[in-house]
A and B are shown apart, each in its own frame.
Chain A
Amino acid sequence: MTAQGRTRLGSILVNDVQDRSSKSGIILVTVFLITTSISYIALNHNLRITSALVYVIGIMAIGSMTSVRTGLTTALFASAFYNFFLSEPLWSFYIDSYDDLMPHVAFSVTAIFTGVLAGRLTERAREAELAQARMTALLGISGKLQQAVSLEDIAHSLQNDYWALKVGNVTLFDENGRALGEGADLPPEELRLVDPRGTRTEGVNGLSLVAIWLQDVPVAILRLQNQEDEEHGRSVHLEALVNLIRLAVERCSLLKTQSDMEILKRSEETKSAILSSISHDMRTPLAAISASASSLISLPAMLEQSVKEKLLDTIVEQCARLNRYTSNLLEMGRIQAGIDELSLTNIDFTDILGAVISRFRSNYPDFQIIKSFDAKPRAVRANEVMIEQVLENIFDNAIRYSRDRKMILVSLGEKAGQLSVAIEDCGVGIASHDLPHVFDRFYRGDRTENCPGSGLGLAIAKGFVERFGGIIRITSPSSQGSGTTLEITLPTSKVESHR
């Protein structure tokens, strides 16, 4: 049965009880009149036993329809009525003969017993019905609350379902009285009423407030605005409802604590993985530096001049590697911390690209860098230093993964508000199974084994480009052979013409 079905049943039961109270009077009177008429006719035909039995049946009928009290009252009233109006002598409580007394006593006693018994039966049945309705309603609430996985879910189902069921308004707040989901916060004057120890406090107009605790910490506040129908009571026990909600809140809070722990644990794992990767990547160049420098100090006489020079070159190279590595780590941290909007300005992409190409050309004179673009300024909204870093990381890869064909092709164009730059090398390329992962942090493909690196360069490039609203794509093998093409698309910014 759906929750809606259940609540509809609840409302039917409620209406039923009300209907009975209003109609029972009419039915009672009708039954009484019919019985009296039949009894009267029977008496006129001198059928005294029949007359009395008919009356007993009538009382039983009334008792079965009403309660013990009404049954008893009807029985006593009917007994007196029978005696006064129907039995001989008429218009008197006096009983003629002993023969008349016995049926009368029997009649009265039977009437009283049947009235009481029938009434009690009806009451039991109604109580059972009510208990059934309460159970159904509680089950409905419980089922709904079982599905909740967060305090917000609970608050949501409390708001959206027909929870009234004679309980009134039920609202859940967090431990500070702030609304969970839509709706207003708990008013401060009500917040003051909440008993911090967790017992239910009653306010005016049937208001009650309960703080729900979990492991010595309050996690939520439950507010009940009672609209109890005094006559018929609630169909759901308030305490039972509070307990159900308390259980759900405790369960959801535990779930949250558990998932928080899980997240924390996972981030700790990530951190230690990163740290071990970092220390490994730092130690390798340090080992090379240490070996070279200590050789130069300890064995100066035994080393040939060419070897000495080679060792010195190693030291300088490895320092550059360490530097590149640490600045990559720093940039990674910058991406994770979030890049401030203030650090973005309109920059000339062509200018930065030119500067990077120029620097790589002078650092790697044996590389051929072929440009196919003009010096026209191309404005994008970005950060100059970060764009420089993106381009440097890409050029750095292009150079490190090139073997015999030392050539890099750079093209730059602008179309429909998008600037796109493509940097293509003729290097070793990337294995197809590595391609989907090259932008992951610390990921290094199969073909990078002989080449030191941190696995951060492209992750940083992607992080920065995406922060500037752009897209970065990688293709390998590139269109002209074995190498790799990195393509970046960035939205161009509108710039007024210069003064």
Chain B
Amino acid sequence: MAKVEKGAHVTEETLRDFLHGMLLIRRFEEKVEERFRAGDLPGFLHVAIGQEAVAVGVCAAMQEGDVFASTHRAHGHTLARGTPPNAVMAELYGKTEGCSHGYGGSMHLYDLSRGNLGANAVVGGGLPAVTGAGLAFKLRQEPRVAVAFFGDGATNVGTFHESLNLAQLWKTKTVFVCENNHWAESTPGWQHSPVWDDMSKRALAYDMRSMKVDGQDVEAVYEASLEALEHARSGDGPVFLDVETKRMHGHYIGDPQVYRSKEDRDDAAEHDPIPRLRERLDLSDEEFAAFDEHAHELVDKALEFAQNGTDPQPEDALKNVYA
């Protein structure tokens, strides 16, 4: 397994940007939880509270032209890649101003202009497409990379194995980011995978380069992602990025987590990536409060924007079925 050396090239300014991005996602998702519980939001929602460093670290390492596919837990990836919070919140409200124009919802956030090929509500459903996009970049000799986000639960789906095999066989320009939070919905890692505590073993089976990284350390995630993306971009083949992370909340909003011990929840809370970054930056209360206030402001504006958004016409449901 490749060791990721801490580089000196992550500037304090970059880390501050990361804090801004992570706080935006955190406050955004807290607001989403609040509005869902209040009955404002239709559908089925999943937050990634605790996993913000993964979204921010990986997306910051991506370049213009790179693409990615996300999962049912997609708000963070989408915001981290630069889709305005207004457009994401409007999508959750089912408005035409939403990033999928009201056709997708929380589990189907798209933003093609920023390389978001879509969040997928079928676990593992997007992995073959990311492999295919990475193949297209290779065939066209384009310096672009396709990134797949997925959880540890997805490593048991057939698409995962078929995709990793094909990607390595053909050396597609693909990076597989496994957000290993040790939960497949309510089923703990030890119940769903013989290699739950070291997912990089999955990549070994396909002779794929793998890297392991602490997903609660945004700087480490960023550096590992830079290396993984560069490897794929240069045509050396795909990379499996095994990111150990923590899901601080339930599988879905409203999940009472009857299956989860208090110790496990406490452990997740203790590994919150945001205080860790704050400590790294050595921010005073005032400085941190300024970051936080900015995030709250953006989220409040997004909420107002979404609530005042335009409802689709019912008959719009018949549009966009075909190109």
Q: Do A and B bind each other?
A: no
A interface residues, Cβ below 8 angstroms from B = none
